[in-house]
Amino acid sequence: MAAGPATTPREIGPTADGRSLRIEWMDGSESILRPYDLRISCPCARCVDEMTGRRILRPEMIPETIHPTAIHYVGRYALQFVWSDGHDTGFYPFDYLRRLGEGGAGGSGRGGAA
């Protein structure tokens, strides 16, 4: 696993409007992550079948109003979110968060850089 400036968070906090999570990385870039996108991308064994890699979680079961009630660091490599639906078993490695922030979670309609 690659641990470098691109996958090391410098600052983690809410965006100005309080609706999304903002991660500023050591390489100077930032990721804006919608809580809903994060929740449906949960990589834990209850949301993704470990054997097949198939997603068990049904996005339609997650309310649009989902939000983290707590965020914990897991060592130096991941974040653990405690969600408002009570789900708390997902560890999100920083490189995974970085990938989600780069559009891996699907169209936000905001387009790319420049």
Contacting residue, 6, 12, 32, 44, with Zn ion by CB under 5 A: 44
Contacting residue, 6, 32, 47, 78, with Zn ion by CB under 5 A: 47
Contact flag: residue 68 with Zn ion (CB under 5 A) = no
Q: How many angstroms separate the Cα of 16 from the Cα of each of 19, 22, 52, 73, 89?
A: 8, 9, 39, 22, 27
Contacting residue, 42, 79, 97, 100, with Zn ion by CB under 5 A: 42
Contact flag: residue 40 with Zn ion (CB under 5 A) = no
How many of the chain's residues bind Zn ion (CB under 5 A)?
Answer: 5
Nearest distance from C-beta of residue 11 to Zn ion, angstroms: 25
Site for Zn ion in 94-113 (CB under 5 A): none
Task: Using CB under 5 A, list all residues that contact Zn ion.
Answer: 42, 44, 46-47, 90
